[in-house]
Structure 1
Amino acid sequence: MGLKRQGGMTLLGTLLVLGLIGFFALLTLKILPIYLEHFKVLSSLESLKRTPELAGQSAHEIRNLLLKRLDINMVENVRPEHIRVVKQGGITRVEVNYAVEKPLFGNLNVIVYFDDKIEARGE
C-alpha cells in the first residue's frame, strides 16, 4: 500500500552533529585549564586571607607572599602588576585583576577576564 520511509540521520546530518561535538570539545579543552588555574588563584587568595598578622605586613610583603603561593600552585597568568594591595582603616584588601587569552583556531581567540579580591581586618 505505501512506501516505507527510512528513519535515521543522513551522512550530512551525522557530519554536522560530529562537527558540533568536536567544536564544543575543543572549546572545553581550551577554556577548562583557564578556569582550573583561576581556582588555584582563588585558593591562594583564601589561604592568604587566613594568614595570621596579614594586616601587620607591608603591601610589598603581602604581594611577595601571594606571588610565592601562586608560584607553588604553578599559576602562570598572574604577574606582579596584576596584584594590588590596599591598606586603609585597619582593612587590608588584596585585588588580582588579570585576563587570559588563548587561541582557539585560526585567528579566533578566547579572552577570559578575572577580578578577584579579598579583605582582611587587622586586629
Structure 2
Amino acid sequence: MRVRKQGGMSLIGFLIVLSMVVFFVYLGMRITPIYLEYYSVVSAMDGISKEPGSARYTPFELKDKFLNRLWVSYSNNNVKAENVKIVRNNGVQIRVQYEVRKPVIGNLDVVASFDRTAQLSN
C-alpha cells in the first residue's frame, strides 16, 4: 500500500492569500471612482469640443457648460472652476488640470494627477 500525502494550502497560507486579495480589492474600491470621474471629465470635454461653434463661446460660457456637464454626471467633486483653463493657441482649446488625493490606510494616500486638453470646433 502506498501512503499518499494530502496536498493543498494550509490555513495560514489561505489567510495570507485572502488578506492580500482583500487588500487589493479595497485598493481598487478606492481608486476606481477617481478614474470614473476622469472619464466623465473626458466625456464632458469631448462633448463641448464637438459642439458646432464652441470656439466662439466666451471663457465664462465654456467653463459654465463644462461644469454643468460634470454636475449632471455627478462628477463635480474634484474639478472646480479654477482647474479649467481656456487657451487660445492655434484655435481655442479647453484644458483641465487637477489632482485627486484619497486616503487609503492611516497616513498613506493615493494621489492621481490629471491633465487633458481638447481642441474646440469653429
Q: TM-score, normalising length from structure 2?
A: 0.91
Shift in Å, 1:88: 3.3
Contact 2:52 / 2:121 at 8 angstroms: preserved in 1? no
Q: Which residue of 1 aligns with 2:49?
A: 49
Runs of 4+ in 1 over 6 A off after TM superposition: none
Match of 1:107 in 2: 107
- Counterpart residue identity of residue 52, structure 2: P
Task: Tell me the matched-pair count.
Answer: 121
Instruction: Give the conservation status (yes or no) of the 8 Å contact 1:59–1:86.
Output: no
Q: Distance in 2 between matches of 1:100 and 1:57?
A: 29
Residue matched to 2:38: 38
Instruction: Quote the Cα distance in structure 1 between the aligned partners of 2:40 and 2:86.
Output: 19
| Residue 60 (structure 1) aligns with | 60
Q: What TM-score comes out, normalization by structure 1 length?
A: 0.90
Q: Is the 8 A contact 1:45 1:66 kept in 2?
A: yes
1:120: how far off? 2.0
2:120 is paired with a residue of what secondary structure?
Answer: strand
Gaps of 5+ in 2: none
**Which AA in structure 2 matches 1:100?**
V
Q: Percent identity?
A: 35
C-alpha root-mean-square deviation of aligned residues, in Å? 1.5
**What one-letter code is carried by the residue in structure 2 that aligns with 1:44?**
A
Unmatched runs of 5 consecutive residues or more in structure 1 = none
Deviating more after overlay: 18-27 vs 102-111: 102-111
